[in-house]
Chains A and B, each alone.
Chain A
Amino acid sequence: MSALLEIEELQVGFGGRTAAVRGASFRVEKGETHCLVGESGCGKSVTALAVMSLLARGGQRSAKRMSFAGTDLLSLSDREMARLRGNRMAMIFQEPMTSLNPAFTIGSQMTEVLTRHKGGTRAAALDRAAELMGRVGITAPGMRLGQFPHQLSGGLRQRVMIAMALMCDPELLIADEPTTALDVTVQAQILRLLATLKRELGLSILLITHDLGIVARVADHVSVMYAGEVVERAPTAELFRAPQHPYTRGLLSCVPVPGRVQRDKPLGSIPGVVPAIGPGFAGCAFRSRCSHADETCAHEIPRRQAGEAHDYLCRLAPQSAEPQPA
């Protein structure tokens, strides 16, 4: 298998003050689901937006390498990028309301994507839109196509976004929290649909989610981000069986599981918050919250190998222990 998307040492900053992504590297193989997880604000969405060349104004990206299906994304012109975007690589945004235009109906927004990239008639595009809406579990697509975004519930809007991203049969789908607004039965339906597309059409998926239940069930590989860095990468089963980075261990220990929650106790959480990281920050960004931290953690941290495709960024030697609170 060759990598469909390859990111090496991605850096993204905003106006020289915030270093939002600090040297993130990962690759998405063809036909795999790669999950990106991590604390709120660690740079997951910014990473995805950098790949799509959709960073907000003031955002600067640089990378050693950033390629999609052999094409160097860093050297593409805006027009060439616009031809890929929504077409061969599509994205489902974290906030559906910010990416749906309130002034246009669902139908006109969905058909526009297809006719712009692939041509064809509006009627054919409407048929395709209705078919995809059915597949993401929207009934009465005819009625929904004529409605405006504010007339739909949060979950309907999210499903419209998913259907819209699939309009052009993309090779890579970047999905940023695609099911947060959905109930668990619809979530399961959408995840099964994505699995089918992956199996039948070889779709590759970069899935950003904070739901570790989803990660466990659908991911082939996982990258864990913390404060702008990928601090651990592993095949899914290995990550859950033998997490190495203290942040990953902490994260896995705070997942509440129905039927196993203790109602009168507070939920487990990792104490503290992500520190503000300016340019020139050195050492491990987790050290203010890590129970294993010592003075060496303020210096450069080695990337250690814990398995063939499993590495992590921490001074501690690999362990085969079960997850434990950090």
Chain B
Amino acid sequence: MSGFNYRAIWSIYKFELHRFSRTLLTGLLVPVITTSLYFVVFGGAIGSRMTQIDGIDYAAFIVPGLIMMSMFTESIFNASFGIYMPKFAGTIYELLSAPVSATETVIAYVGAAATKSLSVGTIIFVTAHLFVDVHVEHPVAMAAFMVLIAVSFCLFGFILGIWAQSFEQLQVIPMLLIMPMTFLGGAFYSVHMLAEPWRTITLFNPIVYLVSGFRWTFFGRGDVGIEFSLLFIAAMLAVCLTAIGWVFRTGYRLKK
């Protein structure tokens, strides 16, 4: 056999979606509930005092940040588990002994995790409409941005899943790195609201660029220029793809 093994991609993709479907109810309910809670706490309680940021209603202002936040965690969580579990359970033997290339493996696992993460993002977007009127200025850019974010964070999660050798290691990066960075990344406030030196320090947080770029697709403006956001996503994609290429070339933590 030669050529592209698209059947393998499809099999893995279906397998992963099936895995997600086993927890479908919680998988869908959790984002709805968290989003609602955020709106009650931030939109209702705090928003009633803040009313507007950069001329945008506070409740609407936090929508892109909320979507991003959930998509970051969903992407990393699902993609890292997707590849970590077979490693942990030993079922990875089958993947390694199948005529499946590195590219096909990545497309399948990352594709499935990104699908899940995009559905969660969409659910939050829809739920947000129950609480606030959100007008999206650049819908196509918004969709494209979501896809890019899902793919790059799933790639990152995939690498994490390959690297991790215990459940603890699997959790530590999302909990200790991504979560704080997201909270400090301007999901709930504008960078302009910070005083120096925090404002400058914040600009070293890559999440700022992602949240800002996504916010731009909604309101036509963000904390930093959209070109910086795009540059950053491109860089992140490139780094992840290089890392994955290296992982498969060397068999790092996959093959002894």
- Determine if chain A interacts with chain B: no
Q: Which residues of B contact A (CB under 8 A)?
A: none
* Interface, chain A (partner B; CB < 8 A): none
